[in-house]
Structure 1
Amino acid sequence: MAHAAAHLKKARELEANPEYRALQKARERRKRHRERAERRKQSDSNTSFLRAARAGNIDKVLDFLKNGVDISTCNQVRKRLVCL
């Protein structure tokens, strides 16, 4: 029981520390940045895949599928959903 109380006290002290809060915020910003970059990367490959499919470029479509692009990829264009 004393161990749990000491742990809670230490956590409270860390949360009150402005440097700790700034560090946490910086970590969350970096995490969001990495997630956005990953979504952007996926979006770019999905867009290229859809363009190749619409253009009838079977070689490129097959390359994208071999590299793991999802066949049920959708793209939002002008507020309407366009799916392959």
Structure 2
Amino acid sequence: MAHAAAHLKKARELEHPPEYIALQKARERRRRQRERAERKRQSDSNTSFLRAARAGNLDKVLEFLKGGVDISTCNQVLH
């Protein structure tokens, strides 16, 4: 079964010119880079939110919440 799937994939790749395939790969790389950047940004803001909460900095916590930080972010230190 896996051999047949690999054969079909290869046949599909032969239907498209190399420029098209290169364009698709570049689009996929950019999409993955955007997703990684978004995860990192979320992680950084969650970390800052948790630090402000642990420090008791209510103004900063409220600022993060107004900015859309996920309130369900959790950490063992807060529990």
Structure 2: any 5+ residue segments left out of the alignment? 1-12
Matched positions, count? 66
More strand by share: 1
Equivalent AA in structure 2 for residue 21 of structure 1: I
Residue 28 of structure 1: aligned partner: 28
Q: How far apart are the structure 1 equivalents of 2:41 and 2:23?
A: 27
- 1:74 to partner: Cα distance: 2.9
Q: Where does structure 1 lack aligned partners over 5 or more consecutive residues?
A: 1-10, 76-81
Q: CA RMSD in A?
A: 1.9
Residue 13 (1) aligns with residue 6 (2): no
Distance 2:18 2:74 in 1: 44
- State the identity %: 79
